[in-house]
Amino acid sequence: MPHAVVTQSPEAILQRHLQERGLKQTRQRSLIVSIFLATGGHLDVDQLLATVRRTDPKVSAATVYRTMKLLTELGIAHAQQFGDGHTRYESAVDRHHHDHLICTVCGKIIEFENDRIESLQDAVARRHGFTVVHHKLELYGRCSECAAR
Amino acid sequence: MPHAVVTQSPEAILQRHLQERGLKQTRQRSLIVSIFLATGGHLDVDQLLATVRRTDPKVSAATVYRTMKLLTELGIAHAQQFGDGHTRYESAVDRHHHDHLICTVCGKIIEFENDRIESLQDAVARRHGFTVVHHKLELYGRCSECAAR
DNA sequence: CTCAGTGCAAAGTCTTTGCACGATT
DNA sequence: AATCGTGCAAAGACTTTGCACTGAG
């Protein structure tokens, strides 16, 4: 039999946060969140807006910016900068930490995790008296397909 | 007795590159480069411009942008993004690779290097068929002084 | 019915660029 | 003298914000 306490769906988390803050659940917000979560991440605002507009062409960029900012504050999304001038977002729900391999030719982004690297990072920080809150590890290069060309 | 072949000074490197390309050595370029190298790095354009203007108040931001772009192309400077929306530069002359610890309270930036982390990164990349060209490892948190408060 | 949300356009940052004048080779 | 470089202002790219209207609770 299924466990009684299941992880809340992102939609439920969103709804709870909205209610707690007296914020409203709107058509636009629901649409943006569901597309954001369905697409899987590393999306920038342009991509998200384009997808959203396939369903509702009247949604504005400002609303997407505002919604993603809200999701970030609520801990549902993480903002990330890969240095191309576009803020990208990925889901923060039911995910543990991971880092990124980024193909500079085709733009492909691969996620990975490596506990030994994490431990070494902690050791380095400790040695310098730092308390690390978060970190960023990005490996830029060519994926196998692009290297083959 | 000193070695006959010494590492060229950054100024000499700059001058050689300029000559090779038929570019000119100007008062502004010399000033910006010497201040950039003397200050030690992790400077953004605002800080650099402010310092430069203490010596020559008429230097424009455009010139600083253009000069730093040039230095980056020549391999004398590296541009870096720490996520605050300001491009920062550090000297690339006579330096090997290193990563950064960044205090999110006071802005202090500490450099470190760790060969074991580098090896593990290479291993991860290899496992994914990636050829890594460069990488970025940044640990964000509180330095000992800011943590004490 | 009230207050938050949306769309639009304007404004804000940081950075780049067109142009005429100025400086280096 | 011929070019490249500079300063200034305008233009760009991305993001935020003011305002009046719309819509959720």
**What tens digit of pLDDT does each residue of B9-42 get?**
767 878 888 998 999 999 999 999 999 999 987 9
pLDDT of res. A83:
84
pLDDT(B6) > 70: no
Find chain B residues with C-beta within 8 A of A132's C-beta: 101, 139-141
pLDDT of res. A7:
58
Q: Which residues contact A110 (CB under 8 A, 6 or more apart)?
A: A100, A101, A102, A103, A143, B128, B130
Q: Identify the helix (H) or strand (E) that includes residue A124.
A: helix A115-127
- Most B CBs within 10 Å, among A72, A124, A133, to test the B interface: A124
Nearest Cβ partner for B147 among A131, A136, A137: A131
Which tokens is B93 given? 């002359």
B10/A124: higher pLDDT: A124
User: Inter-chain contact B130–A83, Cβ cutoff 8 Å?
Assistant: no
Distance, Å, B34 CA → D1 C1': 31
For chain A, how many helices (H) and strands (E)?
6, 6
Mean pLDDT of A120-133: 96
Q: Shortest Cα distance from A45 to chain B (angstroms)? A: 17
pLDDT of res. B94:
75
Compare all CA atoms of chain A with the CA of B144 and give the residue at the minimum distance.
Answer: A129
Nearest Cβ partner for A136 among B131, B133, B138: B138
Closest Cα to residue B65, out of B84, B79, B83, B75?
B79
Q: Cα(A10)–Cα(A89) distance, rounded to whole angstroms?
A: 15
Query: Which value, in Å, is the radius of gyration of the alpha carbons in chain B?
Result: 18
Compare all CA atoms of chain A with the CA of B113 and give the residue at the minimum distance.
Answer: A124
Which positions on chain D have an atom < 7 Å from some protein CB? 3-9, 13-18, 23-25
Q: Cα(A109)–Cα(A96) distance, rounded to whole angstroms?
A: 17
| B28 Ramachandran zone, left/alpha/beta (phi>0; psi -120 to 50) | alpha
What is residue B58's three-state secondary structure? Answer: coil
Q: Is B119 on the interface with A (CB under 8 A)?
A: no
Compare all CA atoms of chain B with the CA of A130 and give the residue at the minimum distance.
Answer: B143
pTM for the model: 0.84
What is the phi/psi pair of residue A59, to 5°?
-65, 135
The conformation of residue A87, written as its DSSP 8-state character, comes to: E
Handedness of CA B86, A138, A66, B142 (dihedral sign): negative
Nearest Cβ partner for A139 among B125, B138, B141: B125
Longest pairwise C-alpha distance within chain A: 54
